[in-house]
Chain A
Amino acid sequence: MKNNGREAAMKYVFFASACVSVGAVVLICIFMFANGVPAMGKIGFGNFLFGMKWKPELDLFGIFPMVMGSIAVTAAAIVLGVPVGILTAVFLARFCPKRIYPALKSGVELLAGIPSVVYGFFGLTAIVPLIGRIGGGSGTSILAAAIVLAVMILPTIVGVSEAAIRAVPSGYYEGSLALGACKERSVFFSELPAARSGIVAGIILGVGRAVGETMAVIMVAGNQAVMPRGLLKGVRTLTANIVLEMGYASGLHREALIATAVVLFFFILIINLIFMLAKKRGD
């Protein structure tokens, strides 16, 4: 009898543990929205989201330049990172000699583990001066942030794409070979299209990482709160805006920063939703 009681009690303990993640999401939503939404109301939703000027000292809180900054940096990182990532995944899955595979694979995993400050520091001391020398100016720019982010999302793209390619039934590849196509043709025109939804899921995951990345971007993007004006000009992202000013902000300024995080949170929720839908289609 006593044993039965313990069985039942532990079942509830496990159940309670499982509920913690639900509780955490609810708590995060409550705290972010309760602290950020009122500021949006005070500033005016349109003025906040589409305002072109961010000047806290004048009580101007328009985050549109930062929204565009995040989009510009992410888009440029995707353009640089995705082709290399997918092709590297193709190499790993179909072209890689057995001797090289473990080294390259663990190298890619190493990229996934390197902390974002280290990436930022690398970008700051290696890439930024290079861009400055070639393109003129200080070098802190959309391009610098995009290069650093492209490297950071590489392991995500490679990992997910490789798994997707390997999950394609071998009949696709063999059937294509049997029809007389060469190896490259079979991989690119038969296997890759079949793995498409998995690869798309990987890209979306990469977009999520790039939008949410903070420390590496702060160190190389220049952080001017203005609309993106070109690849070699500086820009500020939503994430950078929060970290840069949270330290000394107070009053409405502080609330506006939390509201910035709410907008970022919203972006991520939408990206997550698209990711889950893409993954479902892949299964």
Chain B
Amino acid sequence: MLRAVVYASAGITAAVIIGLVAYILYMGLPNFSLSLFAFHYSSDNASLFPALVNTLTVTLLSLLLAVPVGVGAAVYLAEYARRGNRFVRVIRITAETLSGIPSIVYGLFGYLLYVTTLKWQFSLLAGCCTLAVMILPVIMRTTEEALLAVPDTYREASFGLGAGKLRTVFKIVLPAAVPGIVNGIVLSTGRIVGETAALLYTAGTVAHIPSSLMGSGRTLAVHLYSLWSEGLKTEQAYATAVVLLVFVLVLNWISGRLEKIASRGKKNG
């Protein structure tokens, strides 16, 4: 009896996964056409190409802002901080708080700080700075886990050969932790690509590629939302959902590979 309930629940979960993916593909794939990838957006073609370019720009810049800071913070927590230090606990609690804040609160914060106080207007830069704060805890956590998984014998061997702390961190510990760090970057990319609420009132919803980072532009996820709120273009919206789904599938696949590489490294070490 209990076993039947367990199997039924697993069945429901599997059905939801398959149903969701199949539905999006079934409704979206027939709507792909060349005009969907036209270089310029117009209300006729509802091209998603500008949104695609904006998505890549936003992802790249947000990672550029957040990864050095996140990795640096993780290095401090894993390699420098003494365990049980009170300040370290503060850092951990704030990082955990950051990862729990809903994206709409990030969006309003970004709007208040970058858009109105710093007067950047709706711009890709404001969106990127908002997202950088949002993914910071992800980068910190995955990097720290990867650093802690590097065996202490690596560090001791490096010190034994006369290397300093800094050289040990950069030449020995960080390279060994690369798969974990990259996995953090992949996870963050997924969050950035799927983000809407944090971008609506920071990067704005203009459907073109802006001429500079100070211009407004919508990413793919915002594009999908805008198509809905304008109430037209259902076919193009279906197709956009497919593109987003493909992004997620590819990122998940990469992430799975990286986890395998990381765990294999652990076994050898």
Contact = CB atoms under 8 A, between A and B. Distances in A.
Interface of A: 3, 6-7, 10-11, 13-22, 24-25, 27-28, 31-32, 35, 83-85, 87-88, 90-92, 95-96, 104, 106-111, 113-118, 120-122, 124-126, 151, 154, 158, 183-185, 188, 208, 211-215, 219, 239, 242-243, 246-247, 258, 261, 264-265, 268-269, 271-272, 275-276
Residue from the set B17, B133, B136 with the largest chain A CB neighbour count within 10 Å? B17
Given A31-B113, A110-B248, 20 more contacts: A13-B72, A31-B112, A84-B12, A88-B10, A90-B9, A95-B10, A104-B10, A107-B18, A108-B13, A109-B256, A110-B17, A111-B16, A111-B20, A113-B251, A115-B221, A184-B6, A212-B105, A213-B102, A243-B197, A264-B102
Interface string B142-180: 000000000000000000000011100000000000000
Contacts, number: 235
A91 B6 contact: yes
Contacts of A31: 109, 112-113, 117
B114 to A, nearest CB: 10
A91 B10 contact: yes
B266 to A, nearest CB: 17
Contacts of B6: 87, 90-91, 95, 184
Contacts of A6: 166
Interface residues of B, number: 84
Contacts of B13: 84-85, 88, 104, 107-108, 154, 158
A272 B98 CA distance: 10
B29 to A, nearest CB: 15
Interface string B231-245: 000100110010011
A124 B7 contact: no
Contacts of A183: 3
A208 B98 CA distance: 12
